[in-house]
Structure 1
Amino acid sequence: MQFIDQAEVQVQAGDGGDGLVAFRREKYVPAGGPSGGNGGRGGSVILQTVENLQTLLDFRYNHLFKAENGQRGGPNNRTGASGSDRIIEVPCGTMVYDADTDELLGDLVEPGQTLCVAQGGKGGLGNQHFLSNRNRAPERALPGLPGESRFLRLELKLLAEVGIIGLPNAGKSTLIAALSAARPKIADYPFTTLVPNLGVVRKPTGDGTVFADIPGLIEGAHQGTGLGHDFLRHVERTRLLLHLVDATSADPIADYTIIQQELQAYGHGLAERRQILALNKLDAASWDAQTLDEIVAQLEKLSQEPVFLISAVTRSGLDALMNQVWQFLEQMQVDEEMLPISIGSGSRE
């Protein structure tokens, strides 16, 4: 399945049905009067999130979505049938923009969440609506109003609590494969991963946490170089970043600095996002113990965080790394729950 995370579509709501001009013609009813019914409302176009979608592939070849028009009013004051709404299923994490004004219409993150992006037109009034003491036989009715039409830009930002970042071939896919049931493509060359991979990692409590393996960033990614420009947006949703540095690299310090500079240049608060730093591929590193200690010391000085020494292939050091991940996520949850209380207590003083 192809991973598509951007799409442009046109949505067209249904037009309202026309009102009807009609008069009652019944036996033994000498003064029948007007009986034209109102037109039915046009159907609306509604986006709805579902859990079983992970891509916007359905919108690659289908760009127009129309709802049903309302029916014309009927005689005997019968209102026309309303048009059926058009329900469009999208994956969780879809952001909806008006393509003409660039206005954000909605951010759909919860399963089952809905957003009306085009309102159906109102049905026209039949001539029975215009009956009055001065006009006992109105011969006018109103046409239905047209439904809204919009061009939309859909952007998918994957929903994951932990994003795994690093230069190409840092071992991100190997790590997510070791931690979860995900089976991404793994090979000994850069840019093996061309799309983000999601994996559910079980906590000690049994709950699942979604990890996202973000395709390799390189220098200049924020300007469109390599693959990072296309996938940096997926890091925005994460609460915690797991930064892997390749221990077999010629200069691990420079590798770390490149990623930090790209996060800073991209903006959106990524550089301030909490990170856990891990030096991966220790099983294949050729550094002597003293040099490795110097590298770790420099990384700790730059990051102001402890550096975890791991090997995703042999699973060495993963227990300590994951314990730190769970502690950080738990602390973030506590901080988020305490935040409204602290704001409220401050306002009362």
Structure 2
Amino acid sequence: MNARLGAISTALAAAALFGAATPLAKALLGAMSPFMVAGLFYLGSGIGLGIAIIVRNLWASNTREVTQRISKGEVPWLLGAIAAGGVAGPALLMLGLSTTPAATSSLLLNLEGVLTAVIAWVVFRENVDTQIFLGMVAIVAGGVLLSWQRGSHGVSTGAMLIMGACLCWAIDNNLTRKVSANDAMVIASLKGLIAGPVNLLVALAADAKFPALVTIAGAMTTGFAGYGVSLVLFVVALRNLGTARTGAYFSVAPLFGVALSLILWPELPHPSFWIATGLMAIGVWLHVRERHEHVHLHERLEHTHRHRHDEHHQHEHDFPYSGVEPHTHAHVHLPITHSHAHFPDVHHRHPH
């Protein structure tokens, strides 16, 4: 139970940090181009996490923990995730934010969780229960209501761009699931160090100029927290909850964004805003209360990741073990059949 609550809390913390970054990005757009903001956000994320990794490794240099390395077979998945979520996604978001109210933009980002679940369900065959599906319907309904412009005959360009960003991040989330057993800080740092310079080069090619140093520092700090630390927490949640469930919990991110945006730009929202908020709240509630339990088979599995000695990690150590948990080393899971409440995490990716 504690492990489950811890995994959910990790996903919610990731959502809070990312949601708060959205209205701050909106504020920065007045001084910088969308690609410049995205570039500085990701560069701040990559550099900040890179420093944190160095400090962490120096601190743990006297332990027996294994340094995880991303295998060659996982590299294409990681590069695909970086291209979709680190380059295309933030660029579309920044372009959409430039013409869309901050509160509406924040709530539209709920679609990321929905699209994440749909791709996980349809493409990667991850189990999605009825409540998850009904929650997606409610969130989609709220998103359509928010993006439909009154007095027009279609969805605004800004809203379409933000929805495109959500699709890119949904693809990113599902591809990241393939490498989620690896070091979350390394994954997030690599994404920042690659996506940041790419976005900056696009901005400079479009004749954008670097802003004042204080603005650069503010953008990179925001990126470190809202994109970097948030992504680390998201990958850890992805490892423990699976793609669709993590996307569902991450759907609360816009609620934090709305709260902050209404503080920065006080205004009286249109009634449709509150209707959409209610629909999205129902969807998130349905996601949170979902339970999944059945008899399932664990086949033999050998891998390396950070773990505790729970019911799925009962193994011997071929090195002097100090008893410190969690720790990282290669270990083997023997075949077992049992029943318990579980998520499609790294140990429960079985067919139904």
Name the structure with the higher helix share: 2
Give TM class, smaller chain: under 0.3
- TM-score by structure 1 length? 0.23
Higher RCO (C-alpha under 8 Å, 6+ residues apart): 2
- TM-score by structure 2 length? 0.23
Larger Rg: 1
